[in-house]
Amino acid sequence: MSNPRILTKPIMFVGTASDVGKSVICAGFCRIFKQDGYHPAPFKAQNMSLNSYVTPEGLELGRAQAVQAEAAGIPCHTDMNPVLLKPTNDQSSQVILNGKPVGNQSAFEYFKTNDRAELFLSVTQAYDRLSDRYSPIVMEGAGSISELNLKKRDITNLRMALHAGAATYLIGDIDRGGIFGSVYGTIALLTPEEKQCIKGIIVNKFRGDARLFEDGKKMLEDLTGVPVVGVLPFFKDIHIEEEDSVSLKNKFNTTTEGKINIAVILLKRLSNFTDFDRLEKDPCVHLFYTSQPQEIAKADIIIIPGSKNTLDDLLTIKNNGAAAAIVKAHKNGKKVIGICGGYQMMGELIEDPDHVEGSLESMPGLGLLPVKTILKPVKTTLQQQFSYRKNPEVCLGYEIHMGETNADFDSPVTILSNGKPDGYFLNEMCWGSYLHGILDNAVVIEDLLADFSTEKSAETFNYQQFKELQYDRLADHIRTHVDMEMIYKSLE
């Protein structure tokens, strides 16, 4: 489809606070611009998330930008997210710059002593490279744009909008309450130059009949002098991969009747929880997150996920009883599998002689698999094609880990396209793999669920088609409730 409009500006979505729905809205606009014949790409200067992805070049970026790139119909690239912070504990993060780790820093070191001018130069260079290849760029801010104590060190929000000349839209979450105070206060705290960037307001997550908010919409416009370009209703029937794992503990936390119950161990530093989105959507499955021993015992299948701090998370589940519950469930004939850090935990020993993760140098694992892991400073980040066990079907996944696991590779879970083995397959009831995304493949899901269901749900549920449909539905949802004519005029 071609479009006669000539777009000269990028678009940026910023928030009155964190978690107002910016990432999902950006994904929706990426799909809208693709549908309308443009060649869009997402951009977020700095992301903080344990949910990451690997580019075709073997570099790391935030998963949200990979999802947005998928919505735009293009391969992801590190220029879409040049700075990624991956928290290793409550006070420090691993810093990923242009797809590669450049070290661990405390929040104080990163925000106070780091050369922000140099970092801002890196992100603007990434944006400039991206904007030479795509148009329009769909930019995402981070957190609140009115944090006065952080603004002078900001490399993500309106400083980036000013560099790009972006038409900027402020998103407020009406579901959490206080929409008038948050929107008015946010705009009131902006400098005149920053206010010039704001072209409109989007009220997100509205429950009920939006016609009842017509008076509220006019009040917001009168208070701020900025038009409200859309009121987006709250939805639960459109499924887009989430950016953050904050809500996992409240999402599902117990078993249910009539389905295959799969317990994902709720780790403190759980990473890449989107590994389980495909399973969560399977009609035969009830997937839930827990660290409670009694709930682990009731599950049919137990999955130990990836972790940004494997040793610390292993110590935690040993202390809270989850580890003992996993071992007991395995002895009782329950199926237990591990992904990445979870695979490492399932072994006999994890060693960290270089203190990659912290002060702990070694710790016995759960002893479920005859493997040993040594954590190393060099990070492996690769997209992979592989075959699962003896199945000829080509599967897709990716590696993000710091460590090598020595195993008896007469029993691998997968064979990579380069001929190397991955993981350890003890038996149908116990195996582990380094591959994120392994559970997105139908042949793996069918094998995982084979003992519990006669339905071959993996054959009838095409996850990629499902995701494409969700992007289209999200685009339709936004078109219905946002003044797209006003949006397009602001980009011309």
Q: Which residues are marked as active site?
A: 340, 436
Position 485, amino acid = E
CA angle 78, 306, 422 (to 5 degrees): 85
CA distance 242 to 2: 31
CA distance 349 to 114: 36
CA distance 88 to 124: 26
Give the C-alpha distances (Å, rounded to integers) separating 466 from 234, 238, 241, 437, 438.
Answer: 20, 10, 12, 16, 17
Which tokens belong to 29? Answer: 């606009």
Calculate the CA dihedral of residues 330, 334, 339, 345 and round it to 10 degrees: -10
Query: SS3 of 154, please?
Result: coil
Q: Please name every residue paired with 47 in a beta bridge, in sequence order, or none if there are none.
A: 84
- Cβ(299)–Cβ(334) below 8 Å: yes
Is the N-terminal amide bond of 10 cis, ω within 30° of 0?
no
CA distance 75 to 69: 6
Where are the strands (E) in 344-453, listed by range? 349-351, 362-364, 372-374, 380-388, 395-401, 404-406, 414-416, 421-422, 424-427, 430-433
CA distance 452 to 470: 28
Q: In what order do the strands lie in the sheet with 349-351?
A: 362-364, 349-351, 372-374, 404-406
Q: Please name every residue paired with 298 in a beta bridge, in sequence order, or none if there are none.
A: none
Other CB atoms closer than 10 Å to residue 401's CB: what's the count? 24
CA distance 136 to 68: 13
Where are the strands (E) in 130-217, listed by range? 137-144, 167-173, 198-206
| Cβ contacts of 128-133, under 8 Å, gap ≥ 24 | 129/79, 130/41, 130/43, 130/77, 130/79, 130/80, 131/10, 131/164, 133/41
Q: Please name every residue paired with 286 in a beta bridge, in sequence order, or none if there are none.
A: 261
Which tokens belong to 422? Answer: 């991955």
CA distance 291 to 175: 29
CA distance 185 to 16: 9
